[in-house]
Structures are given as structure tokens and as C-alpha cells.
Amino acid sequence: MKRRPSRPAHLVFIDECGFMMEPVLRRTWAPRGHTPVIKVADPHGRISAAGALTISPQSKFGFYFHLLSDNDNFRGNSIAAFVSSVRFRIGGPLIIIWDQIPIHKSYPVEHYVSQHDDIFIESFPPYAPELNPVDYVWAYVKYGRLANYCPTNLNQLRMKVSSELSRVSKRPDLLKSFFHATGLEL
């Protein structure tokens, strides 16, 4: 069993999400008698994303993300690679906090974590997505920034999702508000 770090560690909240070609429909307007129609080329096309909201020991907020290839799903190897990428960018000890989905306990992830004494894992209680601030990032992007967005292909969707997540990563004030929305305290 690993011991908690003796020096301050970064808190790293991680979650995965999918962005579909089919738009998240919100309210819109149209002239009376002309119902708006949104045509979707491939409603099942998707881009899977992983996000990490980080809090440094000095309470600085950051956000890192990774998008998989078109229509791919996250598996143990891709989650381990994402954790490795976040660890490389941050350096120092990490306390990773995530949900209890099976890929987080897969062999590649557990093997990677066991090879690094500066990574510690904590899990949220089951069925508590409201505790993960990354879920608020996904909601902000999906239901706010991308509401009614109807791309013509997956490449266009990828560019828009990447642009919006990059925008979020440059807004520590917004990231801090997502953390505070969870009700958790530092």
C-alpha cells in the first residue's frame, strides 16, 4: 500500500466523455409555421475525450484533455497513456480522483500506477458524478458552447471540441467555478 506524499501533491480529477455528431438540442427560433430541421450526416459518429482538472498545491487550476481517433472508445491502455501525459506535464506527486468504472481498475492502469510511487488513486463513491468537476466541464461545453451545433463531419466536430476545450483550459476562473459547484473544499 502506498503512503500519501510527504510533500504537497497536485489534485487531478479525471473523467471521460463522448461528443456525438447528433447535436444537443436546445431552444431555438424559427418563423411561425416553419419547424427548424437539423440534418445529421452520421448521428452515431463520435469523438471520445478524457479530461483532467488539476489543482496545484498553490491552488492554481488547470485543465488537460485528450481526444481519441474517430469512433474509438477509451480502454485501459489509452487511460494509462492519458495519466502518463498528465503526469509528464505536471511533474511531482499526483492524487488522482476519479469514478469507479472498470477501465480505471484495468491492468494497464494499475500497472502504470504501480510503477510510479508519486501517483496515488482515490475513487469517488458510486453514482456521485456531481462530485467530479470535470463533469461540469463536459456540461458547460456540451449544453452551453455546443448546443444546437451540427457539424457536417467528424473532423469539423473534432476541431470545434478541441477549440472549446482549449478555451476552457485558458480560463482558471471558470475551472475554479466548476470545482466550487461540486461543494468540495480544498
> pLDDT by residue (tens digit) across 46-80?
999 999 999 999 999 999 999 999 999 999 999 99
Question: Does residue 186 lie in a domain region?
Answer: no
Question: Does residue 2 lie in a domain region?
Answer: no
Decide: 116 and 95 in contact? Cβ < 8 Å. no
Question: Does residue 3 lie in a domain region?
Answer: no
Structure confidence at residue 39 (pLDDT)? 64
Q: Which residue has the cell 469514478?
A: 99
- The CATH number assigned to the domain holding 29 equals 3.30.420.10
Q: Which of 121, 139, 144, 160 is nearest to 51 (CA)?
A: 139
Directed axis angle between helix 154-169 and helix 172-181, to 10°?
Answer: 90
Question: Does residue 87 lie in a domain region?
Answer: yes
Question: Does residue 4 lie in a domain region?
Answer: no
Domain count, the chain: 1
Question: Does residue 120 lie in a domain region?
Answer: yes
Residue 100 φ then ψ, to 5°: -105, 35
DSSP 8-class letter at 64: E
> pLDDT by residue (tens digit) across 97-106?
999 999 999 9
Question: Does residue 61 lie in a domain region?
Answer: yes
Question: Does residue 145 lie in a domain region?
Answer: yes
Structure confidence at residue 6 (pLDDT)? 55
> pLDDT by residue (tens digit) across 134-169?
999 999 999 999 988 888 899 999 999 999 999 999
Domain residues for the domain of 71 are 10-181
